Structure 1
Amino acid sequence: MKLFFALFSFLSLSAQTTQGIAQRNEVKGFVIDENNQPIPYVNIWVENENIGTTSDDKGFFTINTSEDKILVFSSVGFEVKKTTIQNDGKVILKEAIYKLDEVLISKRKQEKEIEIGDAQRIHHRQLSGDKPWIYGKLFEQDTIYKKTPFIKKIVFYSDSDKKGAKLKIRIFEFNDSIPGNDLIEEDLIVTVNKGMKRNVIDVSKYNLLFPEKGIVIGLEWMIIQENRADFEYKDPKTKKLVKQEDYAPSLVVNYSDKENAFTYSKGKWHRSKVFLTEKKSKEPWYNKIMMPAINLILTN
């Protein structure tokens, strides 16, 4: 099996993070809604830092940082919140009120289907490390989609080292530069099996019309105990075997000429840039964008 470019990126980030958090403490808390109900699987980041986690199924979380740091909380159906952790550890999220375009405009016939996106099953993958990244892909509107305007299924490729890992799918509107509001108001959590898999998720019940400005499909890692699957690799310098904390599933990446990939980290969205080195390379990622392997199946 190959060593993947995405793996080296992950190891570099992890090493920097480990060095940076040596003097930090564990901060604990829990996330609830305005009705005092726990919110599970909330995406939590230290603002502007490469430190993050996910709340568990009861809303509790632990994060390696200091109490004066600002944390960014993001979850489907709730407003993004930035706050420090108070003595009681309680974080209350407000329900989001989105003004979205009406999607229940016409009845679906489902007589035609097309698959868009050009995602391929290849042995190049992205690891999460111990971070709750959201890895997103922009699908731009095209006139050929007018005959199949509804989003029926989401297809993505994974290459997991662990059976039964959980992943959250996010569906965002696009606001001209970065992903915007969620287009559905509930968590869409799927289970990914071990090995190289083509995952097909039916979202037809949401009656989503393809937005005029495009749509971003995000795959969100969940830093929860049941997803933990430590990764072992040989250090290229010391030749020693190193164990690195990792959370399944690993996601397949493809390479593209278009800058239509996004990553949510450090509490904000980042648009992926072309990978260049000082010397030209024959590697498939040279002068390309790392893109999550995601397709859409459209219907009428």
Structure 2
Amino acid sequence: MSLRLHALFAAALLTALAHPLHAQRTLTGTVQDPQGAAVPFAVLELPTHKLGVQADDEGRFSLPLPAGLAPTDSLTVSALGYERRRVLVPVGATVALQLAALPVSLNEVVVRPGAAEWVGFESEPKDFGYGQNGLSKEKNTGWQIARLCQPTTNGYLVAARFFVKPGIHCGKTGVRAPFRVRVYAADGPNGSPGTDLLFTTVLAAAPQKGWVTVDLNRYGIEFPQRGVYVAMEWVYTSDEFLCSYTYTTPDSRQKKEGFSYGQSLAAQWVPEAQARTWYYTIKYGWRKFDSRDPTGQQRVGDAAIQARFQP
């Protein structure tokens, strides 16, 4: 396995490997709006056990329930543009969960005479990159990579772009895997991503290696001088983008089969003090990268994400 993804695969595997629990049953079902339409990519979590899954693009999910659930254990259901809901864990094996849509009023976009500019990642993408390990229909808790982008003054976010490249095992096929675009205010703890600013599901896909630009002008997202976080979220959509590989465990030296999914997001090593990249998993929430590069230097990967700023 390439050194560039050792630490990253470990982070992506937290949800899948940190819970060797014997499931009593599996809860399956759908997440819908009040009219019965599917809510795509909703997230279902058991907060007490720090365990969760993500529904697919048709709102379907499958959540293995751990042994020892208490009668008071609850299930939270959330999705962009919908009210977060918390319910007791259903007693049946199949359930239809409904989420109420949030009233969203988009900001009016006023195009000013100033020239739009790209802000964020400034380096030339190199061999290093972030990838998603273990994502599948059964283990579909994808992670997010977010990069802080700061303009020179207040304005609007009109576009975002990501430098997409083949995953370490999936090659050209993986490049084309759809991913979700996320935007957050820089108001979380310790300057982490906080409030969601993009209230609808926006999917993008790359036809080939290189920059992928996503138009966000219609959403009227304010772009303050303090910046916003733009993120790529890996979402499971098809086994077409799932790739298997063999690796050797460092302790027992046994060969095992692993799975990677989709594309990777290019990055460049930068000194830790310049780091603007955070990652998110259901188990740990938002965390800032702090790891050493393959040479042992205290450097972290600066994600190749840019935001287009319109004053």
* Match of residue 299, structure 1, among 298, 303, 310: 310
Deviates more, 1:3-12 or 1:178-187: 3-12
Aligned AA for 1:266? I
Identity %: 14
Aligned AA for 1:138? L
Q: Does 1:158 align with 2:168?
A: no
Alignment match, 2:263: 249
Return closer, same or farther for 1:80/1:244 CA change in 2, 3 Å cut-off. Answer: farther
* Match of residue 122, structure 1, among 121, 126, 132: 126
Aligned AA for 1:263? Y
Q: Does 1:263 align with 2:275?
A: no
Return closer, same or farther for 1:74/1:286 CA change in 2, 3 Å cut-off. Answer: farther
How far is 1:168 from its partner?
A: 0.5
Tell me how far apart the structure 2 counterparts of residues 104 and 182 of structure 1 sit (CA, whole Å).
18
Tell me how far apart the structure 2 counterparts of residues 248 and 23 of structure 1 sit (CA, whole Å).
29
How far is 1:38 from its partner?
A: 1.7
Tell me how far apart the structure 1 counterparts of residues 81 and 130 of structure 2 sit (CA, whole Å).
27
What is the Cα-based RMSD across aligned positions, in Å?
Answer: 3.3
How far is 1:189 from its partner?
A: 0.5
Structure 1 unaligned residues grouped into runs of 5+: none
Deviations 1:62-108 (A, max 9, x none): 1333383644433210133344541242222232346x8x7426334
How far is 1:123 from its partner?
A: 1.6
Alignment match, 1:191: 205
Aligned AA for 2:147? K
Contact kept, 8 Å, 1:45 with 1:53, in 2: the verdict is: yes
Return closer, same or farther for 1:14/1:116 CA change in 2, 3 Å cut-off. Answer: closer
How far is 1:217 from its partner?
A: 0.8
Tell me how far apart the structure 1 counterparts of residues 158 and 11 of structure 2 sit (CA, whole Å).
38
* Match of residue 80, structure 1, among 79, 84, 89: 84
Alignment match, 1:204: 217
Tell me how far apart the structure 2 counterparts of residues 267 and 110 of structure 1 sit (CA, whole Å).
43
Residues 47-66 of structure 1: matches in 2 within 5 Å? 47=47, 51-66=51-66
How far is 1:169 from its partner?
A: 0.2
Return closer, same or farther for 1:30/1:290 CA change in 2, 3 Å cut-off. Answer: same
Return closer, same or farther for 1:270/1:247 CA change in 2, 3 Å cut-off. Answer: same
Return closer, same or farther for 1:223/1:84 CA change in 2, 3 Å cut-off. Answer: farther
After TM superposition, the score normalised by the length of structure 2 is 0.76
Residues 1-300 of structure 1: matches in 2 within 5 Å? 3-11=2-10, 14=13, 17-18=16-17, 20-21=19-20, 23-24=22-23, 25-47=25-47, 51-66=51-66, 68=69, 70-86=74-90, 87=92, 88-97=94-103, 103-104=107-108, 106-109=110-113, 111-129=115-133, 130=135, 131-140=141-150, 142=151, 144-145=152-153, 149-160=155-166, 161=170, 162-177=174-189, 178-193=192-207, 196-226=209-239, 228-235=241-248, 237=250, 242-256=256-270, 257=272, 258-266=274-282, 269-275=285-291, 283=295, 286-300=297-311
Contact kept, 8 Å, 1:7 with 1:125, in 2: the verdict is: no
Aligned AA for 2:264? S
Contact kept, 8 Å, 2:15 with 2:283, in 1: the verdict is: no
Tell me how far apart the structure 1 counterparts of residues 38 and 88 of structure 2 sit (CA, whole Å).
18
How far is 1:171 from its partner?
A: 1.2
